Amino acid sequence: SWDTEDPGNNPGLKTWYLNWTTCAEYGGPFDCVNCQTVCPFSHGNDKSAIHNIIRGTVGTTHLFDGFFANMEKFWGYNTQLSDQAHTDWWYRDLET
């Protein structure tokens, strides 16, 4: 939407806006990251080439929104990782 949600948003860009005031009161954006976890657009392009097609479709029509939301749930993209999974990610062995 073009409508901003919060005085901290930069108007003039058609995008999804975060309500920073509410988020900060809840402890975000860094304490919970729930919005980032459940957002279908936060999943990397390395998952599947179909995601680029879905992004383009969602950006131009709302006809398939329900279908895509159900597919996101079906494939488990809308779940928060466990604390152990986050810890494992931060301490993984990076070969350089």
Give the pLDDT confidence score for residue 44 in this predicted structure.
Answer: 59
> Residue 69 above 80 pLDDT?
yes
Is the model more confident about 17 or about 72?
Answer: 72
User: pLDDT tens-digit profile of 9-68?
Assistant: 777 877 777 777 777 777 665 666 667 666 766 665 555 677 778 888 888 888 998 998
Domain count, the chain: 2
- Between the CA atoms of 24, 25, 27 and 29, what dihedral angle is there, to the nearest 10 degrees? -20
> Which structural domain range is residue 6 located in?
1-32
Residues 9 and 28 reside in one and the same domain: yes
Residue 96 lies in a domain: no
pLDDT value, residue 30: 65
On the question of pLDDT at 70 being above 80, the answer is yes
23/50 same-domain check: no
Scan for tokens 């779940």, then name that residue.
79
Question: Is 62 a domain residue?
Answer: yes
78 and 61 part of one domain: yes
* Same-domain status, 45 and 63: yes
DSSP-derived letter for residue 18 is P
Same domain, 24 and 50: no
